[in-house]
Amino acid sequence: MTEQAKPLAGKTALVTGASKGIGAATALALAEAGAHVVLTGRDVRSLEQVEDRIHAVGGSATIAPVDFEENDGIARLAQAISGRWDVLDILVISAAFLPTLSPVTQIDRKEFGRAVTVNILATQALLAAFDPLLKRAEAGRVIGLTSSVGADPRAYWSAYGSTKAAFDNLLESYAREVEKIGNIRVAILDPGATRTSMRAKAYPGEDPKTVKEPGVVSARIVELVVNGYETAHRERVAEPG
């Protein structure tokens, strides 16, 4: 991509879950479009590998390891970012935890608690912590990656689906709260069947080549950020072709 074709030049983006899958692909795509991308996740080595890929294509990135299960993890992340940047233009919430699929009556409480922490509590904490920086942006953009099981309950998926229903509610409520007082716009994106480690965990017998690559989703995210969208925008990423 040429310098003239970098529509996000000068923008700062924060991508959670950036160490792999859709998060990593999105971080790379945003960087290729000119944004400086802050990569967050727990796996430092994987974050460094994503950072290397970004640098290899001439992009700019900073790694900021954080564990959303730590009580002050997001607060420390926000403090570090606000100490370096005055605004945050783009927040992509990709990090999520998938508990073991099971009947409602047999949900593992420890795994369920982890899903609640990562998928719900961390989402609220991210919105609260970065709201001031997003409001300072010329056009703040928040994109949250959801799942169809949040809106359409499915047998054995309740531990994950219930957290995604709450995730969607938090994002849409936030969208309604800020739409009249600034330029922040929120989108909730269902990536659909995508070739990720989470998908492989849920569908161990599936041939990964039968589902789309994360790059299809990341390309759509960049397109949304660049072209804009109405707040509380929701969509499911279409299959390629």
Positions marked active-site:
160
* DSSP class per residue in 123-151: HHHHHHHHHHHHHHSTT-EEEEE--HHHH
Answer whether 186's CB lies under 8 Å from 214's CB. no
- For 74, 77, 86, 191, 238, the CA distances from 241, given in Å and listed in that order, are 39, 39, 40, 15, 9
Q: How large is the angle between the packed helices 158-178 and 122-136, nearest 10 degrees?
A: 20
Task: Give the Cα separation of 131 and 174 in Å (integer).
Answer: 10
Answer whether 108's CB lies under 8 Å from 100's CB. yes
Task: Give the Cα separation of 241 and 234 in Å (integer).
Answer: 21
Strand, helix or coil at 12? strand
In 153-221, the DSSP E strands lie at 185-190
Task: Give the Cα separation of 160 and 119 in Å (integer).
Answer: 9
DSSP 116: I
Nearest residue to 92 via CA among 172, 12, 192: 12
Per this entry, what is the length of the chain? Answer: 241
